[in-house]
Structure 1
Amino acid sequence: MLNPLWLKTFQTLIDTGHFTRTAEKLYMTQPGVSQHIKKLEQACGYPLIERYNKSFEITQQGIAVYQYALQYAHNETALLASLHNDDPFSGPVSLSCSGSLALLLYPKLLDLQCKYPNLVIQLEAAPNKKILADILSGEMDLGIVRHLPKDGRYATKPLGEEALCLMMPKSKAVSSLTQNHLQSIGLIRHPDVEHYLSLYFSTCNEDALRDLNTDDFPHTGYVNQLNQILLPVSKGLGFTVLPYNALKNFVNRDQISVYQAQQNVVEKLHLISKKRRPHPARFQTVINEIEQILNLKD
């Protein structure tokens, strides 16, 4: 590696064309300048200047080293400038959340990126367990989870809430649910159905449903793609429990009935990141947009 001090001295010598002026500009002695040039030539293995009494001419190798010194100085200046330039509208941000939230957030985040093209947003739909793992590994910058991890390695922040709904075919809608009616319809399973169904039945404040779980119903289908889960429900093949956002983005939502329980069921949402990891300004730009989307949702 070439010594940056020698490169600076050589660049200044070529710029001034004189050893004495170089020494004055760099607050060095003239022998010190000569020593730097000699050491740089030794490191390069070629003479960089041809000396003629009190003047000199730069060699072909010297021209190459001079161009390198200029580029080195430019790169150093750019680096130092970038350290002070924490642009809130430029750079990558990766976010991981549930599929239902991704359906809600992605169009608005794309609008944000269209407004600030240098802000590159990566959104991944993933289950809770993967979100947590990806935050710790550094693969994801930010995550949105349904329940707080009991792990001191995460920084957490309340973000809002998401409504859960029991959805059934419109042709089989009723005003009061019973276990028998749900058993006659059957359950459409999906990766989060156990969690959603258990939370819904235990929170909806209906005695007939409180102690039920997925094993109490015949399973009439399984889908692991969020945008397809409601398709068998719309065709009369079963019921399921999902966040309301899934219904909002479903094409045939007019074929789906949402059961009106005695008490609305909501799930708290939390923003997580790796603890003690510095947050660039662009992270806050995305967080502010997410908070606005969640506050404005109907």
Structure 2
Amino acid sequence: MLNPQWLRTFSTLVELGNFTRTAERLDLTQAAVSQHVQRLEARLGLLLIRRPRQLELTPAGQALLAYCAEVSAADQRLQQQLSAADGEHGEVSLITPGSIGLALHQHLLDIQQILPGLSIRHRFGPDADVLAAVLENRVELGLVTLKPTDARLTVERFAEEPLELVAPSGHELKTWADLERLGFIDHPDGQAMAGRLLSRRFPGSPGPHNLPCRGFTNQISLILDPVARGLGFSVLPRYARLAYSQPERIQVVEGAPQVVDTLWLLYRAEWPLSTRAQTVLQRLKPHFTPAVV
């Protein structure tokens, strides 16, 4: 590994183009500056061509200068990651299921506008992916619908989200026969969600797998498009419905009993949550209280 002081000397020398000024800036002697360059050249070959009033980089010198920039950037990223006391700068990473992810998206953008020093990295994933990402330290925060029991995790209640029966605006859905006539818009969790909700709303019914399937999509933001066009109904979490851009074209078919899922916040228990992650959570939580909204 190359000595970091040699690299600092080399990059400063290239910047200033002068051994004397480099020595003054780094509080070194000119002999020390020359020695650092010589040691690098002993390892890497000729780096600089010394001309009157000018230093010219060789191809090896250009490659080393690029390497110095990479090392400097990596050092800055490391310092940023370790600056846990700074709540307004650095990266915050989180992974969430699709429905709550849609609802979080605009709030996360709002936070970044208010605190532009934060870089928020958010991706969507099912519960299994969320759990693995947090446990493997690939993200700092996660949200899941099934509460884990792993002792390595701190688990907190974050919000509650009902399942909703969503139909095209103007359609009347009171009986199982009404559902059969309209048909079902399915999605990856559609059968499971519909089974949980419809079995309570329509006890004794043959189940959602017996309903005509009018369409399927694996993109949660697109599930309600065919519903809005009158092609069928669907069952999905409330936050997905609240994020839909054409609410006037759909309706929630109210009924009892409700099916309500709890969303659980996860992060590693063995070390403190970074101050910047705490800052993001403090700004998010008022929008997602652990009560049905």
Normalised to the residue count of structure 1, the TM-score between the two structures is 0.68
Residue 119 of structure 2 is matched in structure 1 by 120
Greater shift, 118-127 or 249-258, is seen at 249-258
Confirm or deny that 1:188 pairs with 2:182: no
Contact 2:221 2:240 in 1 (8 A): yes
Confirm or deny that 1:246 pairs with 2:240: yes
What are the superposed Cα offsets for residues 195-229 of structure 1, whole Å, 9 maximum, x if unpaired? 32233235x5x3x2466543121211101112211
Contact 1:226 1:246 in 2 (8 A): yes
Confirm or deny that 1:269 pairs with 2:245: no
Aligned CA distance change for structure 1 residues 2 and 152 (closer, same or farther; 3 Å): closer
CA–CA separation in structure 2 for the residues paired with 1:180 and 1:104: 33
CA RMSD of aligned residues (A): 3.2
3-state secondary structure, aligned to 1:180: helix
Aligned CA distance change for structure 1 residues 275 and 211 (closer, same or farther; 3 Å): farther
CA–CA separation in structure 1 for the residues paired with 2:81 and 2:239: 40
CA–CA separation in structure 2 for the residues paired with 1:126 and 1:132: 10
Residue 85 of structure 2 is matched in structure 1 by 86
Contact 1:201 1:210 in 2 (8 A): no
- Offset at residue 64 of structure 1 (A): 4.8
- Offset at residue 84 of structure 1 (A): 7.3
CA–CA separation in structure 2 for the residues paired with 1:106 and 1:200: 27
CA–CA separation in structure 2 for the residues paired with 1:216 and 1:127: 26
Residue 134 of structure 2 is matched in structure 1 by 135
- Offset at residue 252 of structure 1 (A): 2.7
Q: 1:237 aligns with which of 231, 239, 242?
A: 231
3-state secondary structure, aligned to 1:172: coil
CA–CA separation in structure 1 for the residues paired with 2:104 and 2:224: 19
3-state secondary structure, aligned to 1:224: coil
Contact 1:96 1:140 in 2 (8 A): yes
CA–CA separation in structure 1 for the residues paired with 2:80 and 2:282: 26
Residue type of the partner of 1:109?
A: L
Contact 1:105 1:293 in 2 (8 A): no
Contact 1:173 1:257 in 2 (8 A): no
> 1:252-263 alignment to 2 at 5 Å?
252-263=246-257
CA–CA separation in structure 1 for the residues paired with 2:80 and 2:121: 26
Confirm or deny that 1:284 pairs with 2:273: no
- Offset at residue 128 of structure 1 (A): 1.5
Residue 146 of structure 2 is matched in structure 1 by 147
CA–CA separation in structure 1 for the residues paired with 2:266 and 2:190: 23
CA–CA separation in structure 2 for the residues paired with 1:108 and 1:199: 30
Residue 214 of structure 1 is matched in structure 2 by 208
Normalised to the residue count of structure 2, the TM-score between the two structures is 0.69
Residue type of the partner of 1:129?
A: A
- Offset at residue 194 of structure 1 (A): 2.7
- Offset at residue 277 of structure 1 (A): 3.6
CA–CA separation in structure 1 for the residues paired with 2:282 and 2:87: 11
Contact 1:186 1:239 in 2 (8 A): yes
CA–CA separation in structure 1 for the residues paired with 2:79 and 2:214: 61
Identity of aligned residues (%): 32
Aligned CA distance change for structure 1 residues 161 and 112 (closer, same or farther; 3 Å): same
CA–CA separation in structure 1 for the residues paired with 2:153 and 2:204: 33
Residue 164 of structure 1 is matched in structure 2 by 163
3-state secondary structure, aligned to 1:227: helix
How many aligned positions are there?
A: 231
